[in-house]
Amino acid sequence: MADVKKLIGDRIRQMRKEKGLSQEKLGYESELHCTHIGSIERGQKNWSIDTLIKVAKGLNVEVADLFNFPIPPADAKKMKKSLIEDINASSPETIKILSDLLNGLISLQRQTP
């Protein structure tokens, strides 16, 4: 459980810094004490759903965004290598389908704010 608390805390810290907020400002916006925010970010504090809702509100994000963890570069590199191997082993027809799907997904992602 400590790993999940740390992951959530790291994600909150990352989002807070991206938005240029101090722990004090996030605490104010979340209606939580800034020391509570610091404890959550360090993975030292148990949090409730209500607390995460308040933090998400303070960050002006959805609660689900707190669980959207970045992919470590090493993992992304492994995924990319595996995809390339799969594509290289595919038929031309499958490659065309994959290309169309990927282009569609990229287009959708660009449209999402």
Give me the residue spans of the domains in the chain: 2-67, 73-111
Q: What is the pTM of this model?
A: 0.66
Q: What's the pLDDT score for residue 2? A: 47
- Going from the first residue of the chain to its last (113 residues), give the mean pLDDT of each consecutive group of 10, the final group possibly shorter: 81 96 97 96 91 97 90 88 94 94 90 74
Residue written as token pair 């925010």: 37
Structurally, at CATH architecture level, domain 2-67 sits in Orthogonal Bundle (1.10)
